[in-house]
Amino acid sequence: MVNLKINGQAVSVPEGYTVLEAAREVGIDIPTLCYLKDYSETGSCRMCVVEIVGARALQAACVYPVAEGIEVLTHSPKVKAARKSTLELLLSNHDRKCLTCIRNKHCELQTLSEELGVDDIRYEGEIIKREIDDLSPSIVRDNNKCVLCRRCVNVCKNIQTVGAIDATERGFKTQIACAFNKSLADSNCVNCGQCIAACPVGALKEKDNTAAVFEEIANPDKYVIVQTAPAVRAALGEEFGFEMGTPVTGKMAAALRRLGFDKVFDTDTGADITIMEEGTEFIERLNNGGKLPLITSCSPGWIKFCEHNFPDFLDNLSSCKSPHQMFGAVIKSYYAEKHNIDPKKICVVSVMPCVAKKFESSREEMEFNKLRDVDIVISTRELARMIKQAGIKFEKLPDEKFDAPFEEASGAGVIFGATGGVMEAALRTVADVLEGKSIDQIDYHAVRGTEGIKEATLNIAGKDVRIAVAHGLGNARKLLESIRSGEKNYEFIEIMACPGGCVTGGGQPICSAKEYMDHDVKAERAKALYTEDANSPVRKSHENPDIKLLYSEYFEKPGSHKAHELLHTTYVKRKRF
């Protein structure tokens, strides 16, 4: 422990703490902007400066380590004046159209202005008009609102190891851009949206498709079906004042009906279909000398990352489409035929925690008989905006169920939204099939949790199956490079592009830097999914009655010719940058 004084108060904190962390121990919030716990810790914005008694200059609290006997002043006149001047200079050339900004009331710059008492702009800087980059199907960049905190850069480069963006030019002309000032659409961006989640202001946002959804709902000639990913229910409530980690499945279904969708389905059903196909694929490869390790294909950000950086692993990828794409194909084939609906009149809307799904749905491969599997993708944030625009009082809604015939998915489908969830769901089915009996022990704790890379060896039907789970593309890179070098060997791997999996996807509700300091966002949202799984009457995909009926009536069996036509896909080698 290290002993110090903060504003005259004696404090004892663990060695290795920063002054920022130490101050929070005694209930003092030091303002930050470039700081984002575990993602961006550079001390570059100078909003968090404090006075160290005896030191010549003010120090950045987010990176200044505690030391025995130091005295810290967090709000001396000198400190307050420095912070306010820094903020006023940031605002001097900022695009201050706050009322029309996507981050209005959820902007860290706006919050700082209120907290530091900035009621006027003393400086007027030269305004450089930046071109808005909206060519990507997933992400819109507006450098007119950028404050050069570099949180997006640090996440993209250091956490995701993509490096699609960085600071370019110098001095007043500095901006965040792609190489050669290209659009994100022409870069190695994987559309994961972690840059959006990291941005403290409105410089980055998802491509908004809400107007297109409202238009489809209003069209009397369209039969509009919505499906919601498992992670959406774990976070949507945060947009309406619910505590983080509160599942709002029933209210979400009710809200979607009131928005006017013709049918409200659960993408967890698509996850159950994915397990049927992917589990069968794994068993065939394991028993028949196929390409191993098999790597899951549910995360489109990971798929594009693999296509750019690890083309030698494309044959290891499961050929399965992701759950929402599979389910879209099923809706426009099996469901359309069963209910005598012209599939050309069906519009499938996917509500996803992931903005990479917007890119995925536009991929050339994601169609059958010239019909797109999914027509429109919106994020959790976009759904929240639609609910608010429609004047629906979310918190007052009753709990309602999804529509038949896909009313109840399995608990295995629910946990797809957390890192390790796809692996656990697959193991529940694979173990039963290989053992030839129903296994009672179905909670695979070895693949749960937020550790970056998890490994385990399981004995299934007398065979040792080596598995690994990675979340965040930096961890995925480490894992694949260890396989490339021969250091590691596995039979089955799950990879999710976003740290924590879908629960912290790029389309989920934005958490401020303070919220990241107060909460383990990944763990709290995942808890909602595991709770719902534990309470599910059916916890294995192959035991879902709706899935049994689907295969008996339509696909015949997992891996059949029809299943491959509708539910499987191919991949492409992409340019390396």
By CB neighbour count within 10 A (0-12 exposed, 13-18 middle, 19+ buried), where does 130 fall?
A: middle
Residue matched to tokens 């004696």: 10
Could you say which of 297, 318, 322, 379 is catalytic? 318
Chain centroid to Cα 107, Å, comes to: 19
Q: Which of 21, 51, 278, 532 is catalytic?
A: 278
Residue in 281, 382, 491, 494 annotated catalytic: 281
* Residue 281 among the catalytic residues: yes
Catalytic residue among 88, 365, 367, 543: 365
Known catalytic membership, residue 40: no
Do the beta carbons of residue 143 and residue 176 sit within 8 Å? yes
Please indicate whether residue 365 is annotated as part of the active site: yes
User: Is position 388 annotated as part of the catalytic site?
Assistant: no
Nearest-10 Cα torsion for 212, 217, 219, 224: 100
Provide the greatest CA pair distance for the chain.
80
Q: Is 354 an active-site residue?
A: no
How far is CA 490 from each of CA 76, 242, 276, 445, 466, rounded to the nearest angstrom?
57, 41, 21, 18, 5
Instruction: Retrieve residue 110's tokens.
Output: 């706006």
Of 360, 424, 491, 532, which one is the catalytic site residue?
360
**Three-class SS string for 106-148?**
CCHHHHHHHHCCCCCCCCCCCCCCCCCECCCCCEEECCCCCCC
Distance CA 397, CA 254 (A): 7
What is the rounded CA–CA span in Å between residue 573 and residue 70?
55
Write down the catalytic residue from 298, 306, 354, 498: 298
Whole-angstrom Cα distance, residue 346 to residue 365? 19
One of 62, 320, 498, 502 is an active-site residue; which one? Answer: 502
Whether residue 357 lies in the annotated active site: yes
- Residue 99 in tokens: 């009322």
Length of the chain: 577
* Contacts of residue 72, Cβ cutoff 8 Å, sequence gap at least 6: 4, 5, 6, 7, 19, 22, 23, 50, 51, 52, 53, 61
- Which residues are known catalytic residues? 278, 281, 298, 318, 357, 360, 365, 502
